[in-house]
């Protein structure tokens, strides 16, 4: 394989690996080479510069685009990258790169947009719907509708095959200001998982827990019955990192009490039910979930570090060299708390815990149905050749181009599937990966910018057997989470907002969510008595104008329906 790492960089690689996907054919599909005829293209481009839409090269004379791109820890150098060079030769479009460090990309983007000193194209900076609305309405971002209609062969096909994509990226004013990255990752769509060390269950004669009460019993046995057999009370029943992927303490456990999606930053804990937006954290069911987690903490079943430790600290516990210490953890995959694909093989001994039934019968797998990374490609009003820029991005949705940009060279990093090979989903495979994704390299862009990885595309990868990480994640998700997808609840999708809405919502959501996270930790560790202070907590949320926050999101949601 949508990662053998123990450093902070490695954690980024792991998450990138788990989210990665591929599909491929190693037959080079160059299309029809432009014949040099003087084609007049709408939008102001000089007649004869562009070739026919859908053909290569894109232009008869080399054109340079200035592109600001998010730095990627898996890409050595965009300038000398093999895919960069291959795509330039194919399209006849040269790129002048301005690489923005990933850690400061939002700060840099805000500065650039405020100052007006931006390039022709913004690539891979995941410009939010709110930013698209603001700078699109001001004219800084070009509307792409007409460009797509005239030049976007692959984009129009994408819209035809996946009409929800077109709807999702169209702003309320009717304009499309950005093209997305499509990564329809099945196991990522239900990534709020828990993992338990199966050999300990077997040694203690315990079954995989199916209810919150059974989980309590298992964790208590892990603490008290010396499952690692070293005669020491050194076992850690449950430990998490709040900074890892889908691993906050409430991400899995609270869904046994109330539907609690943690996808998104500003819409964390927010859901849609019967067309109405609401939040989980001021409900009586949330209180019951807090009381359950408080019980686990009070009895030493949850590590105190679970509210403060980072990814690497948790992995050091999970990979303790002397003996196994960690009984269970949470997150989208085992690489959150172990060395994924590591030599110890310990990662594979952790199995997913099915969604637990709570005391009142709640049992939800929070579902992120969004397969889009919004704002992956934007053309600014500085672009002298917007048609060329659109054609350049449009080509990235092609099958082979997606493979090359995300994985590398045919015959070296991937190949066609052979007769009889089976995909991750048990159907005939279409392609096979030759080298694991996630290492620092210079042959692909490692999920930077537009590409088209549908669910079928990802699952048609040739399976490498029961030890294949993607196969494991597919099966664990299908068996333990898919049956519990909520029918009456939905996670809030990305929403377009006006400048005023976005500014107000950002301020309110930060205030509210910071308070919720702080009080959840304080309630669980017992710093504040949750039963005595619950009403005060709810009234504080009201005073923070939670009602107004929901009104803003409701208005934005209704505008997109």
Instruction: Quote the tokens at residue 560.
Output: 């997109």
Please say if the pLDDT value at position 2 is more than 50: no
Tokens of 270: 């927010």
Range 82-91 average pLDDT:
98
How far is the C-alpha of 323 from the C-alpha of 229, rounded, in Å? 9
Q: Cβ-count burial of 32 within 10 angstroms (0-12 exposed, 13-18 middle, 19+ buried)?
A: exposed
Task: Give the relative orientation of helices 399-406 and 82-91 as an angle to the nearest 10 degrees.
Answer: 150
Mean pLDDT of 437-452: 91
Helices (H), 225-369: 249-253, 284-298, 311-318
The Cα 389–Cα 379 span in angstroms is 7
Single out the residue of 308, 231, 285, 339 nearest to residue 489, CA to CA: 285
Token look-up 């828990």 returns: 194
DSSP assigned state of 54: T
Q: What average pLDDT is seen over the chain?
A: 89
Cβ-contact 255, 246 below 8 angstroms:
no
Q: Is 341 within 8 Å of 347 (Cβ atoms)?
A: yes
What DSSP designation does 46 have? P
| Mean pLDDT, rounded, for 49-55 | 96
Token pair for 500: 């005023």
Helix (H) or strand (E) holding 123: strand 121-123
Contact 474, 193 (CB under 8 A): no
Q: What domains lie within the chain, and their CATH numbers? A: 1-35+61-189+371-463 (3.40.190.10), 192-367+492-560 (3.40.190.10)
Q: What is the DSSP string of 123-167?
A: ESS---HHHHHHHHHTTSBPP-HHHHHHH-HHHHHHHHH-HHHHH
Percentage of the chain modeled with pLDDT above 90: 76
Q: Could you tell me how far CA 528 lies from the centroid of its own chain?
A: 34
Distance of CA 149 to the CA centre of its chain: 29
CA 354 to chain centre: 21
Q: Grade residue 47 by pLDDT with cuts at 50, 70 and 90.
A: low
pLDDT, position 329: 97
160 — pLDDT class (breaks 50, 70, 90): very high
The reply to whether omega before 57 is within 30° of 0 (cis) is yes
Give residue 288's pLDDT.
98
495 alpha-carbon distance from chain centroid: 16
What are the percentages of helix, strand and coil residues in the chain, rounded to 5?
A: 40, 15, 45
CA dist., res. 151 & res. 390, Å (int):
7
Pair of tokens at residue 208 = 């995989």
CB atoms within 10 A of CB 230: 13
Q: What is the pTM of this model?
A: 0.82
Residue 237: pLDDT above 50? Answer: yes
Overall size of the chain counted in residues: 561
Q: What is the dihedral of CA 242, 245, 250, 251, to 10 degrees?
A: 180
The Cα-based distances of 162 to 166, 199, 371 in angstroms read 7, 43, 11
Residue 31 confidence (pLDDT) above 60: no
Sign of the Cα torsion 176, 181, 186, 189 reads: negative
Tens of pLDDT, residue by residue over 190-214, are 999 999 999 999 999 999 999 999 9
Q: Which of 125, 69, 126 is nearest to 97 (CA)?
A: 69
The confidence score (pLDDT) of residue 244 equals 84
**Hunting for tokens 């029943």 — which residue is that?**
237
What's the average model confidence in pLDDT over 232-240? 97
What's the whole-number mean pLDDT along residues 237-261? Answer: 94
In this structure, are residues 239 and 331 in contact, taking their beta carbons and an 8 Å threshold? no
- Contact predicate 453/182, CB 8 Å: yes
Lowest mean pLDDT among 233-242, 333-342, 393-402, 525-534: 333-342
Residue 523 has what pLDDT?
98
- Give the residue-averaged pLDDT of 424-452: 91
pLDDT tens-digit readout, 363-409: 999 998 778 899 999 999 999 999 999 999 999 999 999 999 999 99
Q: How far is it, in rounded angstroms, from Cα 339 to Cα 359? A: 34
Alpha carbons 112 and 39: distance in angstroms, whole number: 35
Q: What's residue 49's pLDDT?
A: 93
Average pLDDT estimate for 418-436:
92
Residue 497 to residue 508: CA distance in whole angstroms: 14
């Amino acid at each position: 394989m949508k990662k053998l790492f123990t450093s902070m960089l490695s954690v980024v690689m792991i998450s990138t690996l788990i989210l990665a996907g591929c599909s491929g054919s190693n037959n080079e599909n160059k299309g029809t080479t432009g014949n040099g005829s003087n084609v007049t293209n709408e939008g102001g481009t000089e007649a004869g510069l562009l070739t026919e839409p859908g053909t290569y090269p894109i232009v008869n004379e080399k054109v340079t685009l200035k592109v600001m791109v998010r730095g990627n820890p898996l890409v050595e150098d965009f300038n000398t990258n093999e895919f960069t060079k291959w795509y330039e030769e194919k399209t006849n479009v040269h790129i002048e790169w301005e690489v923005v460090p990933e850690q400061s990309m939002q700060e840099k983007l805000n500065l650039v947009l405020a100052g007006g000193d931006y390039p022709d194209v913004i690539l891979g900076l995941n410009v939010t719907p709110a930013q698209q609305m603001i700078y699109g309405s001001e004219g800084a971002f070009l509307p792409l509708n007409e460009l797509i209609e005239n030049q976007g062969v692959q984009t129009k096909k994408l819209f035809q095959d996946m009409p929800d994509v077109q709807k999702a990226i169209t702003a309320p004013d009717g304009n499309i200001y950005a093209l997305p990255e499509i990564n329809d990752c099945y196991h990522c769509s239900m990534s709020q998982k828990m993992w338990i060390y199966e050999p300990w269950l077997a040694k203690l004669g315990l079954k995989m827990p199916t209810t919150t009460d059974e989980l309590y019993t298992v964790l208590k046995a892990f603490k008290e019955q010396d499952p690692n057999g070293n005669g020491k009370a050194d076992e850690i029943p449950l430990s998490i990192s709040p900074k890892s992927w889908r691993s906050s303490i409430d991400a899995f456990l609270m869904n046994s009490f109330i539907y609690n999606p943690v996808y998104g930053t500003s819409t964390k804990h927010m859901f849609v039910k019967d067309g109405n937006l609401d939040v989980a954290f001021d409900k009586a069911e949330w209180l019951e979930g807090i009381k359950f987690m408080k019980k686990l903490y009070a009895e030493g079943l949850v590590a105190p570090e679970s509210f403060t430790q980072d990814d690497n600290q948790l992995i050091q516990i999970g990979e303790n060299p002397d003996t196994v210490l960690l009984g269970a953890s949470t997150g989208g995959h085992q690489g959150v708390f172990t060395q994924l694909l590591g030599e110890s093989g310990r990662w594979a001994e952790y199995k997913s815990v099915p969604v637990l039934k709570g005391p009142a019968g709640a049992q939800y797998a929070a579902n992120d149905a969004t397969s889009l990374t919004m704002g992956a490609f934007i053309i600014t009003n500085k672009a002298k050749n917007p048609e060329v820029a659109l054609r350049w991005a449009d080509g990235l949705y092609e099958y082979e181009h997606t493979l090359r940009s995300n994985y590398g060279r045919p015959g070296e990093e991937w190949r066609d599937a052979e007769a009889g090979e089976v995909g991750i989903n048990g159907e005939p495979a279409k392609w096979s990966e030759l080298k694991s994704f996630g290492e620092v390299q210079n042959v692909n862009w490692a999920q930077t910018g537009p590409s088209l990885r549908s669910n079928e595309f990802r699952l048609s990868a040739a399976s490498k057997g029961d030890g294949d990480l993607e196969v494991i994640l597919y099966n664990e998700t299908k068996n333990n989470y898919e049956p519990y997808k909520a029918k009456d609840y939905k996670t809030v999708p990305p929403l377009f907002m006006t400048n005023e809405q976005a500014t107000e919502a950002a301020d309110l959501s930060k205030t509210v969510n910071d308070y919720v996270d702080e009080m959840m930790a304080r309630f669980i560790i017992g710093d504040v008595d949750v039963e005595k202070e619950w009403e005060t907590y709810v009234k504080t949320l009201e005073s923070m104008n939670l009602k107004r926050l929901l009104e803003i999101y409701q208005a934005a949601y209704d505008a997109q329906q």
